[in-house]
């Protein structure tokens, strides 16, 4: 973590000389960020990290030789530092970005989402915000799901409600957190799970595919008009809101752009509001690591209608903004360290059918 009152020292790692120069110019006049050094490849970056000890590193995903993933692994092994990946949603960029987030990168910038062709003004706004947040993060390697010791599921006190739907909201740090949580869920989980992870278009599909390969439950990117199935996890696609509607007695997904004024699309609030409207006390909500306050309004609505709301404990979050905001706004039903979230979902849902 950076010292209070000093400028945030950033190491820029990118094989493109254009990008390196653009980022240097971007922060020349910044009162809070300075470029401490630049590196054209992973090997040079590892040397400069030892010499410069930067507060934050921006790291290109796709580089010749030692690529961003290999470089990130070396950084986390030698000198764990907050890393923001620079990526693209095209080709293998999205898949590698998801892998980087699982390996300990704290966030990423999608070059396509800031106007395309490296829109400098859009990139500067987004990157400045993410560097500011990253500088306050104490980096810890993500906990592999197979090493998260399972906890016994208590059977002495039955749940007060029989949830018919689990909804999850997360942002910064979410991909690694979801890996831990979903790996604990049994294939026979008797209800569906809907997830909002703040991500731009092009990244949620690869995220769902990676999670599906490591979990007993079926994980997929949600499509419009799907009937929800028990034991399936639906990830909201980047750029669209995920809501619920009904087809007879069955719950069905609905994807659209309304409301347009939300800070995030997909929005945790929009999903939680829709779940509360259609299921009321049948909702079980979890708010995990993330920046900001998305989810507060929706969590309040779920509680108002008799559902349960849990938040991740501060000590296991990458960024405690979303869980803290929810806990400050309402009386949550529990605050759980990340390794306990999956077990709690199973305990609350139990073996009650839909």
Q: Which two tokens stand for residue 40?
A: 């054209």
Is residue 33 within 8 A of residue 55, CB to CB? The reply is no
> Which of 55, 60, 269, 294 is labelled catalytic?
294
The yes-or-no answer on residue 278 being catalytic is: no
Long-range pairs of 29-33 with CB within 8 A, sequence gap ≥ 24:
30/128, 31/7, 32/7, 32/8, 32/128, 32/132, 33/7, 33/8, 33/128, 33/131, 33/132
Complete edge-to-edge strand list for the sheet that includes strand 283-287: 218-221, 232-235, 193-197, 165-170, 283-287, 308-312, 334-336
> Which of 14, 87, 88, 198 is labelled catalytic?
198
For β-strands 232-235 and 193-197, DSSP reports them as parallel
The yes-or-no answer on residue 264 being catalytic is: no
Of the candidates 222, 285, 217, 209, the one whose C-alpha atom is nearest the C-alpha of residue 253 is: 222
Is residue 286 within 8 A of residue 310, CB to CB? The reply is yes
The yes-or-no answer on residue 198 being catalytic is: yes
Beta bridge partners of 166: 193, 284
Of the candidates 215, 222, 182, 229, the one whose C-alpha atom is nearest the C-alpha of residue 199 is: 222
Q: Which two tokens stand for residue 8?
A: 């945030």
> Which of 171, 241, 269, 333 is labelled catalytic?
171
Query: Which positions are catalytic?
Result: 171, 198, 294
């Amino acid at each position: 973590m950076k010292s209070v009152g000093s400028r945030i020292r950033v190491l820029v790692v990118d094989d493109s000389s254009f990008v390196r120069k653009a980022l240097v110019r971007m922060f020349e006049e910044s009162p809070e960020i300075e470029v401490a050094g630049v590196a054209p490849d992973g090997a040079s970056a590892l040397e400069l990290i030892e010499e410069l000890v930067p507060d934050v590193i921006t790291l290109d995903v796709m580089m010749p030789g030692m690529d961003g993933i290999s470089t990130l692994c070396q950084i986390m092994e030698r000198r764990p530092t907050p890393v923001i990946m620079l990526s693209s949603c095209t080709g293998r960029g999205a898949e590698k970005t998801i892998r980087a987030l699982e390996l300990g990168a704290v966030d990423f910038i999608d070059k396509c989402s800031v106007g395309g062709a490296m829109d400098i003004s859009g990139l500067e706004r987004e990157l400045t915000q993410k560097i500011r947040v990253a500088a306050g993060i104490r980096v810890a390697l993500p906990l592999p799901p197979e090493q998260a010791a399972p906890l016994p599921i208590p059977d002495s006190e039955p749940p007060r409600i029989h949830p018919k739907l689990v909804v999850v909201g997360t942002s910064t740090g979410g991909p690694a957190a979801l890996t831990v949580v979903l790996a604990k869920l049994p294939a026979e989980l008797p209800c569906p799970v809907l997830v909002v992870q703040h991500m731009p278009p092009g990244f949620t599909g690869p995220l769902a595919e990676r999670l599906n390969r490591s979990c007993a439950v079926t994980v997929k990117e949600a499509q419009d008009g799907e009937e929800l199935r028990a034991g399936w996890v639906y990830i909201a696609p980047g750029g669209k809101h995920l809501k619920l509607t009904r087809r007879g007695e069955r719950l069905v997904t609905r994807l659209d752009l309304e409301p347009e004024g939300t800070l995030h699309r997909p929005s945790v609030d929009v999903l939680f509001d829709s779940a509360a409207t259609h299921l009321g006390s049948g909702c079980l909500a979890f708010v995990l690591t993330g920046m900001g306050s998305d989810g507060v309004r929706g969590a309040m609505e779920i509680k108002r209608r008799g559902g349960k709301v849990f938040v991740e404990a501060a000590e296991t979050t990458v960024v405690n903004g979303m869980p803290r905001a929810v806990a400050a706004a309402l009386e949550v039903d529990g605050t759980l360290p990340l390794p306990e979230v999956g077990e709690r979902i199973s305990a609350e849902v139990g073996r009650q059918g839909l």
